[in-house]
Amino acid sequence: MRIDIISVIPELLESPFNHSITKRGIEKGLCEIHIHDLREYGIGKYRQVDDYQFGGGAGMVLMCEPLANLIDQLQSTIAYDEIIFMTPDGKPFKQSAANQLSLKKNLLVICGHYKGIDERIRQKYVTLEISIGDYVLTGGELAAAVVIDSVIRLLPGVLGDETSALSDSFQDSLLSPPVYTRPQEWRGLSVPEILTSGNFPKIEEWRFDQALSRTKKRRPDLLD
Ligand code: 6GU
Alpha-carbon Rg for the chain, nearest whole angstrom, is 22
Query: Rounded to the nearest 5 degrees, what angle is found at the Cα of 77, between the Cα atoms of 74 and 82?
Result: 60
The CATH number that domain 2-152 falls under is: 3.40.1280.10
- Residue 92's φ and ψ, nearest 5 degrees, are -60, 130
Parallel, antiparallel or unpaired: strands 185-186 and 189-190: antiparallel
Class of domain 172-223: mainly alpha
Side chain identity, residue 183: P
Q: Whose CA is nearest to atom 6 of ligand 1?
A: 88
Q: Any idea where the domains of the chain sit in the sequence?
A: 2-152, 172-223
Element (H, E) at 108: strand 106-111
Per-residue pLDDT, 163:
60
The CA 176 to ligand 1 mean position distance, Å, reads 26
Per-residue pLDDT, 162:
58
pLDDT by residue for the chain (224 residues), tens only, comes to 999 999 999 999 999 999 999 999 999 999 999 999 999 999 999 999 999 999 999 999 999 999 999 999 999 999 999 999 999 999 999 999 999 999 999 999 999 987 899 999 999 999 999 999 999 999 999 999 999 999 999 999 999 765 667 677 777 889 999 999 999 999 999 999 999 999 999 999 999 999 999 999 999 999 98
Per-residue pLDDT, 169:
73
**Residue 159 in 3-state DSSP?**
coil
Per-residue pLDDT, 83:
99
The CA 121 to ligand 1 mean position distance, Å, reads 18
**Whole-model pTM?**
0.94
Mutate to test the pocket of ligand 1, among 6, 94, 131, 150 (most ligand atoms within 8 A of CB): 131
